[in-house]
């Protein structure tokens, strides 16, 4: 589909709504998402597989806003979660527990119990210690835990080291040999029911090869287990499908689907996928306004445009050296083009959204940071006691506030001071400011 973020009549629109109107109504910084984009991406992924549709388990961590989860639940999507918090969100959004897979290396006892009682579709088990704990908790609750073992196939996904997860040096999953041993144990453990096998080798993956190599590893394990009469019902290849941020090609999802279908053709296995970024990244933008221009006054200095969004709102440029396109929302300024560093108000030199970017800027300009629908708001924080941004979802010509901007009161609501301490107060001289 064409982008839902398009310049029309000299200004950027989100579907049919002018971005300037959204900024006037809800302020800045604000994340804005397109409903049509999310739905089209979901359908595109599903359609690519034709009459062998995968069970899509949307990776909640990419964008966990309730309204976004609700949209995917309405489309029939399940969810990949990694915490009790994400589980609460999915339930609140009307997600079906029978379509929830629970990943993550550090599930607490409390989280296991929560999911066991529901019960969810399966636990993607990531270590032998978690495997043992799950047996214990399932036994105590009188439940049978459905499991998949997350395999670490030791495959290089050729992505940023922080988001590469399928190498043996990474903390995720268990090596092939141990996974096979755990399946053999699970087979004779009444508290466990084997449902699937899974992997997730990394995120923002550009080519098919590593994903297909991972599929081969899993398929050969399925065969080894089948020979021992241990049946695997679903095969979960995780997420990882890359998207276009700058000029990289969008992931060829049709080729991916065709290659997987070919390999699964003669097998009764249900394919499962856990996409996050692919579904939402390019369906979101971050609107931000230029507060001040601080041009270089000497040759060794840089030109800074100080905007009202910061690394607490969008940490991807700082954390992964990620590129996000930036453009002016309306083409009104007659300023000449200059290379700007777009920086926020946070007291760190790593606080930037982009660097050395040719832009025509004036103070007060409204800017759009692209590709912010995945791992944008979801990774935001209150650093420097900044209120987290608002989130708006556009549907045709309507825009809905799906998370209001935080207030200082929201931030302070969870904190408290110590009770008054009369002794300490007395020991301080009045002019030292004692209370």
Active site residues: 347
Q: How far is the CB of 376 from ligand LLP (least distance, A)?
A: 8
Indicate whether 236 belongs to the interface with ligand LLP (CB under 6 A): no
Which SS3 state, helix, strand or coil, does residue 337 take? coil
**Listed residue (319, 259, 250, 254) closest to 278, CA to CA:** 250
CB of 123 to ligand LLP, least distance (A): 12
Residue 373 lies near ligand LLP (rule: CB under 6 A): no
Half-sphere exposure of 378 (CA within 13 A, CB side): 23
* Binding residue (CB under 6 A) for ligand LLP from 121, 130, 274, 313: 274
Binding test (CB under 6 A) with ligand LLP, winner from 375, 386, 390, 391:
375
241 binds ligand LLP (CB under 6 A): yes
What span, in angstroms and rounded, lies between the C-alpha atoms of 47 and 27? 38
Stretch that binds ligand LLP, among 173-181, 196-204, 213-221, 337-345 (CB under 6 A): 196-204
318 binds ligand LLP (CB under 6 A): no
Q: Which residue matches tokens 């499962």?
A: 272
Rg (CA), the chain: 24
Give me 152's structure tokens: 């670490």
Span from 31-39, 92-100, 270-278, 421-429 in contact with ligand LLP (CB under 6 A)? 270-278
Contact 237, 273 (CB under 8 A): yes
Contact positions with ligand LLP (CB under 6 A) in 49-88: 59, 61-62, 80
Identity of the residue, 13 or 317, whose beta carbon is nearer to ligand LLP in the bound complex: 317
From 65, 26, 72, 81, select the one nearest 373 (Cα to Cα).
65
Which one among 30, 77, 103, 312 touches ligand LLP, defined by CB under 6 A?
103
370 binds ligand LLP (CB under 6 A): no
3-state secondary structure 43-105: HHHHHHCCCCCCEEEEEHHHCCCHHHHHHHHHCCCEEEECCHHHHHHHHHCCCCHHHEEECCC
Contact 369, 353 (CB under 8 A): yes
Task: Indicate whether 204 belongs to the interface with ligand LLP (CB under 6 A).
Answer: yes
User: With respect to ligand LLP, which residue has the nearer C-beta, 232 or 241?
Assistant: 241
Instruction: For the CB of residue 274, give the shortest distance to ligand LLP in the complex, in Å.
Output: 4
The residues that touch ligand LLP, with contacts defined as CB under 6 A, are 59, 61-62, 80, 103, 163, 200, 203-204, 238-241, 274-278, 316, 320, 375, 379
């Amino acid at each position: 589909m064409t982008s839902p973020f398009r310049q029309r009549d000299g200004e950027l629109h989100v579907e049919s709504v002018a971005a300037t109107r959204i900024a006037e109504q809800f302020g800045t910084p604000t994340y804005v998402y397109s409903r049509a984009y999310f739905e089209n991406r979901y359908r595109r992924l599903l359609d690519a597989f034709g009459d062998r549709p995968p069970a899509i388990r949307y990776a909640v961590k990419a964008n966990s806003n309730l309204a976004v989860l609700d949209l995917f639940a309405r489309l029939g999507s399940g969810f990949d979660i990694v915490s009790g918090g994400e589980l609460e969100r999915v339930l609140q959004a009307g997600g079906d527990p029978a379509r929830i897979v629970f990943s993550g290396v550090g599930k607490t006892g409390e989280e296991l119990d929560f999911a066991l009682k529901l019960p969810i579709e399966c636990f993607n088990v990531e270590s032998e210690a978690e495997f043992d704990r799950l047996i214990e908790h399932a036994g105590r609750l009188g439940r049978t835990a459905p499991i998949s073992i997350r395999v670490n196939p030791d495959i290089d996904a050729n992505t940023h080291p922080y988001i590469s997860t399928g190498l043996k040096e990474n903390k995720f999953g268990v090596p092939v040999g141990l996974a096979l041993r755990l399946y053999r144990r699970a087979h004779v453990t009444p508290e466990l029911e084997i449902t699937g096998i899974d992997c997730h080798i990394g995120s923002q993956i550009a080519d098919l090869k590593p994903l297909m190599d991972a599929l081969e590893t899993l398929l050969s394990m399925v065969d080894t287990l089948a020979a021992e009469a241990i049946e695997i019902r679903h095969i979960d290849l995780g997420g990882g499908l890359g998207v276009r941020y700058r000029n990289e090609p969008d992931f060829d999802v049709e080729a991916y689907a065709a290659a997987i279908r070919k390999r699964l053709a003669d097998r009764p296995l249900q394919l499962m996928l856990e996409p996050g970024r692919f579904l939402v990244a390019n369906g979101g933008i971050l609107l931000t306004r230029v507060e001040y221009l601080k041009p270089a006054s000497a040759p060794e200095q840089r030109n800074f445009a100080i905007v009202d969004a910061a690394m607490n709102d969008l940490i991807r440029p700082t954390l992964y050296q990620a590129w996000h396109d930036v453009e002016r929302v309306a083409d009104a300024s007659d300023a000449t083009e200059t290379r700007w560093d777009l920086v926020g108000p946070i007291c760190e030199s790593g606080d930037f959204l982009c660097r050395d970017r040719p832009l025509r800027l004036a103070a007060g300009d409204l800017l759009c940071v692209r590709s912010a629908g995945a791992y944008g708001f979801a990774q935001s924080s209150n650093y420097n006691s900044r209120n987290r941004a608002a989130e708006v979802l556009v549907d045709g010509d309507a825009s809905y506030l799906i998370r209001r901007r935080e207030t200082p009161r929201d931030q302070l609501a969870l904190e408290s001071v110590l009770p008054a301490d009369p002794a300490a107060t007395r020991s301080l001289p009045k002019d030292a400011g004692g209370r």
